[in-house]
Structure 1
C-alpha cells in the first residue's frame, strides 16, 4: 500500500530517509526515476541514506507503476519518491489509491533558470510548465500538500497556486 508519493528533487536524503520514513512507518522506498538507472554511483550514495529495515528500490517510472499496481504491494508500506512533478503525474494517472502527494523540495537544483521560476513556498520553485503539471495533478483529486517534514504546517497545494 502506498503511504505517500513525494516530489523531491534530491530524491533520498535526511528528510525522506529518516524523518518521513519513520513518521509513516514504511518498509519500502521506491525511487521512481528514469535517469538514475544509469548512474550506479548515485544509486549507491542514495542507498547509504536509507535506514536499516527499509528496503530501497530504484526503478524506471513505468516499472514503478507495474510494481505499485501489483497486488503484493498492498501488503507493504511504501513511500514513492520522484524528482519532478511530471513523474508524479504519470504515476498518479496510472496507480489507484494514492492517499497523498507531498511536495517536499523542488526547483532549486536547476538554479540557472531561477529567473523563470515562481516561488510557491520556501522549498518549491516552479516554471510555467511545472505549474501546468501541478494543475493537472490537482485535477486527479488526490490530496496534494507542500510539507518538507511532518512537523511543518500541512499546506494544501491548491492554496498556493
Structure 2
C-alpha cells in the first residue's frame, strides 16, 4: 500500500479532495477511515458516489484499516487516506500503520472548540492527539489545497501557548 496522502478533513470527499488533491497525488483509491462513518450506510454510499471517475472509494473502520494495510490487493494501489479527526490518526499509527506526514485540511468549528485558523478548529483532545503524532516524528502540515503554502500545525500550537 502506497499512501500518497493522509488527510484530516471532516468534510471527507468533497470538491477540493475530488479534484485538486486526487490530481496532485495521482491516486487511484480513497479510503475513508472512521468508525463513526463506517457505521452509517447512507453516508458510506454517498461518499463512494462522491469519488471522481476512475478512483475507487472505500469506507472502513479503524480496525479494518489495520487488517487490510498489508493485503496484496492494495500493494500496487496509490492511496489517499481521509480521517475526520486526529484521534483516529493516532489510533491507526498506534496500530502499526506508518505515516510520515498528515495534512490537516479542515476541522469545522463546534461548541467546545476554538479556531486555530479560518478552517481548523480544535479542542484539548485534538491538541493532545496532534502532539502525540508530532512526538512520533510525523509532520503535521496545514493546507486546504495543494497550491497553498504549507504551514506547520505544531508552530501554530506553540505560538498559541505564548
Question: Where do 5+ consecutive residues of structure 1 fail to align?
Answer: none
Is the deviation greater in 33-42 or in 121-130? 33-42
Cα distance in 2 for residues equivalent to 1:97 and 1:71: 17
**Per-residue deviation, residues 42-100 of structure 1 (Å, max 9, x unmatched):** 12221221111111111101111222233553321000001011001112233444232
Q: Distance between the aligned counterparts of 2:83 and 2:62, measured in 1?
A: 9
Of the three residues 132, 135, 141, the one matched with 1:145 is 141
In structure 1, C-alpha distance between the alignment counterparts of 2:70 and 2:3, rounded to whole Å: 10
8 Å CA contact 1:118–1:127 kept in 2: the answer is yes
Tell me how far apart the structure 2 counterparts of residues 160 and 123 of structure 1 sit (CA, whole Å).
Answer: 13
Over the residues paired in the alignment, what is the CA RMSD in angstroms? Answer: 1.6
What's the CA shift string for 1:13-47, capped at 9, x where partnerless? Answer: 11112211111000010011111223222122212
How many residues align? The count is 156
Task: Single out whichever of 47-56 and 65-74 deviates more from structure 2.
Answer: 65-74
| Alignment partner of 1:120 is 2:121 | no
TM-score of the superposition, structure 2-length normalised?
A: 0.88
Contact 2:100 2:137 in 1 (8 A): no
What are the equivalent positions in structure 2 for 1:1-161 lying under 5 Å apart? 1-108=2-109, 111=110, 113=111, 116-161=112-157
Judge conservation of contact 2:6–2:82 (CA < 8 Å) in 1: yes
- Structure 2 stretches lacking a partner, 5+ long: 158-162
Aligned partners of 2:48 and 2:56 also within 8 Å? no
TM-score (structure 1 length as normaliser): 0.89
* Residues 93, 140 of structure 1: 8 Å contact kept: no
